[in-house]
Structure 1
Amino acid sequence: MPLALAYSADFPAIADTVFILPAGTRELPVTAAADLPEPARQYVAARLQADDKLISVNQYTHHHYYVVAEDNKTADLSTEALRKAGHKLHAQLKADEVAELYICNLTATGGALALAEGLALTAYQFEGYKTDEKSKKPAVLQQLTLVGPDLSAEQVQELDGVLQGVYLARDLVNMPYSHLNATQLAQQFEEAGEAAGFHVEVLDLVRIEALRMGGLLAVNQGSPEPPTFTIMEYKPAGATNARPIVLVGKGVVYDTGGLSLKPTPNSMDLMKCDMAGSAVVVGVLTALAKNNVPLHVIGLVPATDNRPGGPALAPGDVITMYSGLTVEVMNTDAEGRLILADALAFAKKYEPQLVLDYATLTGSAVRAIGIEGTVYMGTADEDTMLALKKAGNATHERLVEFPLWDEYADHIKSPIADISNLGKAEAGAISAGKFLERFTEGYPWVHFDIAGPAFLTAPDSYRGKGGTGTAIRSTYAFLKGLVG
């Protein structure tokens, strides 16, 4: 579970406390030095003069920490600097074995929430499956209490709800296939729905066959485990949208590449994370439901593993999708778009206001912009695309828009079927998006290729290592902005 977050109007005299100081501070404010002896005040003042951004004072009964905010080119970047300061502060708190921390913001603008966010995301630990008590390292930091007149208990509670969505997504992405096949993933969704308050329906193999979801069934052909198709619905009383927003997530719980086998190591051994798109969907729904956001939102997750066994899908095969379109499968490792396409076509039945899909879809997206951001593209209007970009900047889950020009349709032409599932060597992320576009008739749609930031092989500030839960905070911010 995330750290416990709480709000207080004030903080005790003797408590581990961090003070956020305005950028450029050279003298310690009285508010932040009430119980400091003179030598300690002089020490802090000297460190401020030296332009230190993180200062620690051990009072023996408690600690004082000082974080100096930064002035950056934009307010969003200044907020991000505080999240990263939270990451650095966490290392000091861990060394000092601090269990409960008060956060007091002394800047003119709100900073406690950003610092707390960085701290909480850094503090995340995947509990895993260790049985040896000696190897377990329980987290020391247990609670953050945010203090200040610029805050409210509701704001702190909202951050806590979003963090719970991110933590859930990280846990799911970090779980191995041995503990998270398609059926088990659906069970996790059911548990999340029960805990947060949204409805979950799981379609089994028989119902998927009855619906003729040819993409999902084809990818599943080589697997010993059945597929699932999960429908999650959050519909609170008083929802402000007349038509639902639909979130679609790729749920490939493990990807060998099928008969188009992936190389290993450094590729297949990371493929437990290929369901990160589905984790975004359940993470966002959890955050919305926890925070009682008045929006009607539906989540769709087609789930399977991709294996080369038995009657596995073969390169050159032609399959018929849920929509009725035929697809020539030129590469079985381009499987994510096949299962997403069925879900996107299925979404039409809800007459949605907007459809957003999330997938660790292409290496091309990673090669284009790295792990620093997410590629997005779609048919939604410019205002929607801009609002998504602004939400990405605000949460530092930055978006780079790729084009979907008509000419890219030539990349997925097939001589024997309606389309091919494999484009040219160039513009791979775009041809994957162009493929998905064929299944989105009748509604505005945006595709997010999260292949770069969804799973990190080395620690990166508060994003950590492994599953990051990327896209949850930005999507939540975007959706919250739609509330009328």
Structure 2
Amino acid sequence: MNILLKQQYTSEDFNTHCAFLFPSLEDIPEKWLSTQELNFVKRVNTNSPDETVIPVHRANYSWFCILPKPNENPAKKLENIRLAGYQLTQFLHKERIDELHISSFHASSLDLFALAEGIVLSSYAFQKYQNNEKKRKHQLQTLDILSENFDYKQLKELEIITEAVYLCRDLVNEIPSELNAKSLAEILKQKAEEVGIRAEVMNKKKIESLKMGGLLGVNKGSTIPPTFTILEWKPFNFINEKPIILIGKGITFDSGGMNIKTGTYMENMKSDMAGAATVASVVIAAARLSLPLNVMAFVPATDNRINSDAMVSGDILTMYNGKTVEVVNTDAEGRLILADALSYANKFDPFLTITAATLTGAAARAIGKYGIVAMESHARTQFDLLKQSGEEVYERLVEFPLWEEYFDLIKSDVADIKNSGPAEAGAITAGKFLEYFTTYPFIHLDIAGTSFTNKNDGYRGIGATGIGVRLLISFLQNVIQNHQNS
């Protein structure tokens, strides 16, 4: 989609399809609409308060009056505007509108940013394999922002953030026969190098030399060798001596291994690499935004399949740091590859490491699609800032504890630790397992409930949502802001 900005414009620019953002009915300028049009808008707004987008059809074009639900909470107010952007796109798609002008009256540039963000994110569709034109979603081609207050820095940020979400969604939505450990690494390396990021892809031979037993163990059932991709954005003006490391689970397809998934549980397992797509998209966005931070992404990648050599329950794996893990469930594989990555991160002495992973069904069952299960270890200040970022972009965190008692649930009689515990506290024991491999400030994000949806979910769409991308970009921006204010 092309996103354009006009800071100088005339009334002629409104003689086309336009959407106008009004904080309230009282903010609609006198004589902007005809008496009949204004009465119609007032009637709809009064009788159907959930209809935040009210179309006014004229001879050759349509105007859309946007009256988002008011809210005292600034973050919820912006979220309501994004959702109004989603409602607007439903009209655009139905009427097959290719170009739209948006403007605002008495609304801030942040409000207009949220509206544009909602429109752009709602316009995404993964249609690579859809040949039936009748089923293909009509997509807006050009969005023109008409505003004296909106600046080109905001325009660039809007483009980069939404494109990062698009990249994440594209990667997660891609089919397993096309996206495997090798092709994922190749795509990430190419995308990273295009924007000046140092990219390294470790192949199986290198991974074997590093003795990453978790990644190699999960990969035993696959015919495609594993990869471990490292992306590093380290500009000349970075403000953090110690890097922020983002680690994403890169299971490109998860059959469950010998503990095979049954029924529909395997249906969307192409999305089990959403964590990898998230962290890579964030670091690429950080480079494009020229953020003065030393940020790295680690992407350990493999699929989890079954053959005669596959890992089985009862196996004991020796990890990168020498710790041993008893495998009691081959479908608890994501934490095994993340553990190697977390151990490897020790050599960089990170300021903070964040894992993003579709790790447990327990997280999804606990809070559903409305939040991200999160845990922290020795990172209270950073966690509070991340939670604040989540509130701001409406990708909210729900904190679960990492109390020491939970470690008792994953103690092993035959190894240092086992890879799964009982059914209860499943999201926490997974986080506790990861914590075991850290020696630095650590935050874990379980995005199992938020990363993929089978039903249309507003501007988050259907299929891959990209949730986590805006959260982590906002967090990095807030880290910079805090540094500047200190």
TM-score by length of 1: 0.95
2:198 counterpart residue number: 199
Paired with 1:140 and 1:208, the residues of 2 have a C-alpha distance of: 43
Q: Is the 8 A contact 2:96 2:138 kept in 1?
A: no
1:18 counterpart residue number: 19
Deviation, structure 1 residue 164: 0.8
Paired with 1:208 and 1:447, the residues of 2 have a C-alpha distance of: 24
Residue 355 of structure 1: SS of its match in structure 2? strand
Q: Is the 8 A contact 1:252 1:275 kept in 2?
A: yes
Deviation, structure 1 residue 448: 0.3
Paired with 1:27 and 1:79, the residues of 2 have a C-alpha distance of: 18
Paired with 1:446 and 1:96, the residues of 2 have a C-alpha distance of: 45
Q: How does 1:80-229 map to 2 (within 5 A)?
A: 80-109=79-108, 110-130=110-130, 132=131, 134=133, 137=136, 139-229=138-228
- With 134-143 and 426-435 compared, the bigger mean Cα shift is at 134-143
Paired with 2:255 and 2:457, the residues of 1 have a C-alpha distance of: 27
Q: Is the 8 A contact 2:247 2:298 kept in 1?
A: yes
2:479 counterpart residue number: 482
Per-residue CA deviations over 1:87-143 (Å, capped at 9, x if unaligned) read: 11101112222212122122343311111111111100113224x464673634112
**For residue 201 of structure 2, what is the amino acid of its counterpart?**
V
Deviation, structure 1 residue 73: 4.0
Per-residue CA deviations over 1:67-104 (Å, capped at 9, x if unaligned) read: 11322241111111011111111011122222121221
Paired with 2:265 and 2:72, the residues of 1 have a C-alpha distance of: 37
1:384 counterpart residue number: 382
2:2 counterpart residue number: 4
Paired with 1:49 and 1:133, the residues of 2 have a C-alpha distance of: 40
**For residue 118 of structure 1, what is the amino acid of its counterpart?**
G
Residue 178 of structure 1: SS of its match in structure 2? coil
2:52 counterpart residue number: 53
Paired with 2:456 and 2:38, the residues of 1 have a C-alpha distance of: 35
Q: Does 1:283 align with 2:284?
A: no
Q: Is the 8 A contact 2:27 2:105 kept in 1?
A: no
Paired with 1:343 and 1:383, the residues of 2 have a C-alpha distance of: 23
Deviation, structure 1 residue 48: 4.4
Q: Please, which runs of 5 or more residues in structure 2 have no aligned partner?
A: none
* One of 301, 308, 328 as aligned partner of 1:310: 308
Paired with 1:133 and 1:426, the residues of 2 have a C-alpha distance of: 45
Paired with 1:261 and 1:330, the residues of 2 have a C-alpha distance of: 13
Q: How does 1:318-329 map to 2 (within 5 A)?
A: 318-329=316-327
Q: Is the 8 A contact 1:193 1:286 kept in 2?
A: yes
Deviation, structure 1 residue 385: 1.4
Paired with 1:39 and 1:371, the residues of 2 have a C-alpha distance of: 42
Over the aligned positions, Cα root-mean-square deviation in angstroms equals 1.6
1:249 counterpart residue number: 248
Paired with 1:269 and 1:37, the residues of 2 have a C-alpha distance of: 52
Residue 357 of structure 1: SS of its match in structure 2? strand
Q: How does 1:349-388 map to 2 (within 5 A)?
A: 349-388=347-386
Paired with 1:356 and 1:120, the residues of 2 have a C-alpha distance of: 28
Per-residue CA deviations over 1:207-256 (Å, capped at 9, x if unaligned) read: 00001000000000111110000011111221111111100000000111
Paired with 1:88 and 1:13, the residues of 2 have a C-alpha distance of: 21
Deviation, structure 1 residue 424: 1.9
Deviation, structure 1 residue 190: 1.5
* One of 440, 444, 447 as aligned partner of 2:444: 447
Q: Is the 8 A contact 1:202 1:229 kept in 2?
A: yes
Q: Please, which runs of 5 or more residues in structure 1 have no aligned partner?
A: none
Per-residue CA deviations over 1:252-307 (Å, capped at 9, x if unaligned) read: 0011111111112x111211110000001111012111211111111101000111
**For residue 391 of structure 1, what is the amino acid of its counterpart?**
S
- With 89-98 and 102-111 compared, the bigger mean Cα shift is at 102-111
Q: Is the 8 A contact 1:328 1:416 kept in 2?
A: yes
Residue 475 of structure 2: SS of its match in structure 1? helix
Deviation, structure 1 residue 381: 3.0
Q: Is the 8 A contact 2:215 2:226 kept in 1?
A: yes
Residue 29 of structure 1: SS of its match in structure 2? coil
Deviation, structure 1 residue 26: 4.5
Indicate how the Cα distance of structure 1 residues 213 and 164 shifts in structure 2: closer, same or farther if over 3 A, else same. Answer: same
Deviation, structure 1 residue 427: 0.3
Paired with 1:10 and 1:48, the residues of 2 have a C-alpha distance of: 31
Q: Is the 8 A contact 1:223 1:309 kept in 2?
A: yes
Q: Is the 8 A contact 2:410 2:421 kept in 1?
A: yes
Paired with 1:435 and 1:133, the residues of 2 have a C-alpha distance of: 46
1:459 counterpart residue number: 456
Paired with 2:343 and 2:101, the residues of 1 have a C-alpha distance of: 49
- With 136-145 and 428-437 compared, the bigger mean Cα shift is at 136-145
Indicate how the Cα distance of structure 1 residues 20 and 149 shifts in structure 2: closer, same or farther if over 3 A, else same. Answer: same
Q: Is the 8 A contact 2:53 2:67 kept in 1?
A: yes
Deviation, structure 1 residue 27: 6.6
Paired with 2:217 and 2:326, the residues of 1 have a C-alpha distance of: 12
